[in-house]
């Protein structure tokens, strides 16, 4: 009963009653949609109950059938526990990237040339089915090359990887997507460039002698539909298909080259092969749908929205490997270096990115860079990975990631644990902990004096932090005395003391682990935010401290924004 009571308390009001609205609010705040299949019974019952108060007893009767899912939802036990916080961070990146208007729409066919270049949408779906949609996520657009990895997955599931690989390589090409160049044995480099995707379409087309290209496309559309959890209908654009056919000279050249070189699988008809390839490009979806498809890949082939195994994990593994090696064409190398995630772009402006075991991401923005990748899509991925530990090699232990965030862990709990560990170790004389404490206090005092004055709210925050790390209150006037001593120093030698502090931080930085450096910075901007705003001098000093501690600037900005939000939400903290 206790655990049920705890759950109930999360949604109950001051009178000890919950309501359908409060329950729904909590579910939505966790990132789970109200039409999630895992909560369908609960939702139905809630609907029947209406808007009246829900007592503890009716709550117990209500939640029984889907208890585990509700418990995870209410208790923030989903893969990204602090979903709202995470969404705020992603919105910030979205807004920042929106200012980038560089690049141009693809112009080889009217429908892409005339697409509104301002459209900008970001959709995320976690492997637990938490969903976020920002901006133009419901705009249908042709998926173009984003179709390629799925046609590949379809082909290997149907024909086996060996058969496919005898026709299509898995090597990065380093060439533009429409290049006519092939491997020395006349196989295309990989399934993510046109030549490889055309040959893959050939393998699939040859396996369905009785079906025409459009009927086979229908089968592939069914797979897309399952992959995206049927959140909306997968469409087909006749207009795109007609234009694609009219402008397919280069793709015809590739097809003839393939037929003349290696030969086509089972002697399949060249036009059928090309028609299948072009009609897969003409499938239309939205960023919202693609984010769920990407989440299914992130989740080893099980769609988080429906719970259905759509692809085998082995096929997903191969598909992601190919996306990693070649999904971004001839900038796949740089993308792997900077972003380190499997992704696939298309010339209509979509980028579908997979963070394995965590989430799928899809962006839509039609302006392309010189490689044919969406400018904003790539920029979003870059900024995302600058702030969060999503790059495959961010998992290296012992290294420095610039104190990036990991939304998987509950940061709040971790910070509290760190502070209590520090307190415990300081009280037993641990040298490392003592050093961290000293740097932490000095940085707080430096920020207090950033504008030359010692203000009371700053002393209050310093005292709070002092208690957290020392386990007892500072002596009467102790913090004032420390601050005044520094103030005198500054009066004598200007910015000298702050410069010396930065130098010491730089010297110590290599000996401090990520947690310690973060704690120091966090303490510093707790003080900077004491009066609700960060003054320019404080901002300058915070940046200096972050830089000296090798904490990346994006992370600092994110943290400042987060801290200010928290302050705004609970102004009483300032008063103690």
**Which is closer to ligand GLN, CB of 126 or CB of 194?**
194
d(CA 29, CA 26): 5
Closest CB 372 distance from ligand GLN, rounded Å: 5
CA triplet 510, 512, 516: central angle to 5 degrees?
150
Find tokens 């044995």 and name the residue.
185
Closest CB 214 distance from ligand GLN, rounded Å: 16
Nearest Cα to Cα of residue 94 among 386, 339, 363: 363
Closest CB 350 distance from ligand GLN, rounded Å: 9
Closest CB 237 distance from ligand GLN, rounded Å: 11
d(CA 377, CA 384): 11
Q: What's the token pair of residue 461? A: 């925050």
Torsion angle of C-alpha atoms 487, 491, 495, 498, degrees rounded to 10: -20
**Which is closer to ligand GLN, CB of 103 or CB of 346?**
346
DSSP three-state, residue 341: coil
**Which is closer to ligand GLN, CB of 281 or CB of 387?**
281
**Which is closer to ligand GLN, CB of 166 or CB of 178?**
178
Closest CB 151 distance from ligand GLN, rounded Å: 12
CA distances from 13 to 21, 53, 101, 349 (A): 11, 10, 47, 46
**Which is closer to ligand GLN, CB of 237 or CB of 383?**
237
**Which is closer to ligand GLN, CB of 344 or CB of 517?**
344
Contact 313, 300 (CB under 8 A): yes
- Burial class of residue 139 in the structure, from the number of CB atoms within 10 Å of its CB (0-12 exposed, 13-18 middle, 19+ buried): buried
What is the separation of C-alpha 311 from the centre of its chain, rounded to a whole number of angstroms?
22
**Which is closer to ligand GLN, CB of 281 or CB of 549?**
281
Closest CB 180 distance from ligand GLN, rounded Å: 12
Closest CB 217 distance from ligand GLN, rounded Å: 14
Find tokens 């401090």 and name the residue.
512
Helix/strand number for the chain, H first, E second: 26, 10
Closest CB 244 distance from ligand GLN, rounded Å: 5
Closest CB 222 distance from ligand GLN, rounded Å: 21
Closest CB 137 distance from ligand GLN, rounded Å: 20
What is the separation of C-alpha 266 from the centre of its chain, rounded to a whole number of angstroms?
42
**Which is closer to ligand GLN, CB of 347 or CB of 426?**
347
Closest CB 147 distance from ligand GLN, rounded Å: 8
Query: What is 391-417 written as a DSSP string?
Result: SGGGG-TTS--SS-B-TTS-HHHHHHH
**Which is closer to ligand GLN, CB of 299 or CB of 345?**
345
d(CA 385, CA 402): 11
**Which is closer to ligand GLN, CB of 86 or CB of 154?**
154
Residues lying near ligand GLN in the complex (CB under 6 A) are found at 144-145, 177-178, 194, 244, 251, 281, 346-347, 372
d(CA 301, CA 223): 11
DSSP state of 267: G
d(CA 561, CA 92): 9
Contact 447, 524 (CB under 8 A): yes
Alpha helices, DSSP H, located in 193-312: 194-207, 213-227, 238-246, 249-260, 270-281, 287-298
DSSP state of 185: T
**Which is closer to ligand GLN, CB of 143 or CB of 545?**
143
């Amino acid at each position: 009963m206790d655990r049920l009571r705890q759950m109930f308390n999360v949604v109950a009001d001051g009178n000890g009653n919950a309501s359908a609205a409060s329950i729904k609010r909590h579910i939505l705040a966790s990132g789970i949609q109200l039409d999630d299949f895992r909560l369908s019974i609960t939702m139905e019952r809630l609907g029947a109950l209406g808007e009246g108060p829900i007592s503890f007893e009716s709550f117990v009767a209500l939640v029984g059938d889907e208890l585990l899912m509700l418990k995870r939802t209410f208790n923030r036990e989903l893969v990204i526990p602090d979903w709202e916080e995470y969404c705020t961070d992603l919105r910030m990146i979205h807004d920042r990237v929106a200012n980038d208007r560089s690049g141009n729409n693809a112009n080889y066919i009217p429908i892409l040339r005339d697409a509104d270049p301002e459209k900008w949408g970001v959709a995320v779906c976690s492997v637990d089915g938490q969903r976020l949609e920002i901006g133009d996520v419901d705009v249908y657009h042709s998926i173009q090359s984003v179709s390629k990895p799925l046609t590949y997955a379809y082909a290997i599931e149907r024909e086996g990887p060996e058969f496919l690989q005898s026709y299509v390589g898995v090597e990065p090409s380093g060439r533009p997507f429409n290049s006519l160049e092939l491997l020395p044995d006349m196989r295309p480099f990989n399934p993510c460039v046109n030549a490889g995707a055309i040959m893959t379409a050939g393998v699939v087309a040859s396996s369905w002698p009785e079906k025409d290209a459009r009927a086979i496309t229908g089968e592939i559309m069914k797979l897309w539909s399952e992959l995206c959890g049927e959140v909306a209908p997968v469409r087909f654009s006749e207009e795109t298909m007609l234009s694609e056919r009219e402008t397919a000279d280069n793709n015809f050249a590739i097809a003839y080259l393939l037929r003349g070189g290696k030969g086509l699988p089972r002697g399949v008809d060249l036009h059928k092969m090309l028609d299948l390839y072009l009609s897969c490009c003409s499938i239309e979806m939205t960023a919202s749908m693609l984010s769920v498809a990407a989440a299914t890949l992130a989740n080893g082939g099980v769609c988080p929205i429906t719970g259905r195994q759509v692809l085998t994990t082995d096929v997903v593994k191969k598909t992601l490997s190919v996306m990693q090696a070649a999904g971004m064409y001839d900038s796949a190398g740089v993308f792997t270096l900077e972003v380190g995630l499997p992704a696939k772009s298309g010339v209509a402006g979509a980028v579908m990115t997979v963070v394995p075991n965590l989430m799928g991401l899809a962006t839509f923005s039609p302006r392309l860079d010189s490689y044919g990748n969406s400018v904003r899509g790539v920029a979003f991925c870059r900024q995302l990975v600058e702030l969060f530990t999503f790059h495959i090699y961010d998992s290296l232990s012992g290294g420095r990631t610039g104190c990036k965030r990991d939304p998987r862990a509950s940061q709040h709990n971790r910070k509290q644990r760190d502070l209590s560990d520090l307190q415990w170790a300081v009280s037993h004389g641990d040298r490392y902990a003592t050093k961290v404490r000293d740097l932490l206090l000095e940085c707080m005092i430096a920020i207090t004096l950033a504008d030359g004055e010692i203000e009371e709210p700053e002393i209050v925050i310093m005292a709070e932090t002092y208690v957290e790390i020392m386990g007892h209150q500072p002596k009467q006037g102790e913090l004032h005395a420390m601050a005044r001593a520094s103030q005198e120093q500054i009066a004598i030698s200007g910015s000298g003391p702050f410069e010396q502090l930065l130098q010491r931080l730089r010297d110590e930085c290599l000996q401090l682990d990520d947690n310690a450096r973060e704690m120091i910075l966090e303490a510093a901007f707790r003080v900077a935010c004491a009066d609700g705003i960060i003054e320019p001098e404080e901002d300058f000093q915070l940046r200096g401290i972050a830089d000296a501690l090798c904490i990346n600037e994006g992370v600092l900005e994110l943290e400042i924004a987060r801290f200010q939000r928290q302050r705004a939400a609970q102004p009483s903290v300032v008063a103690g």
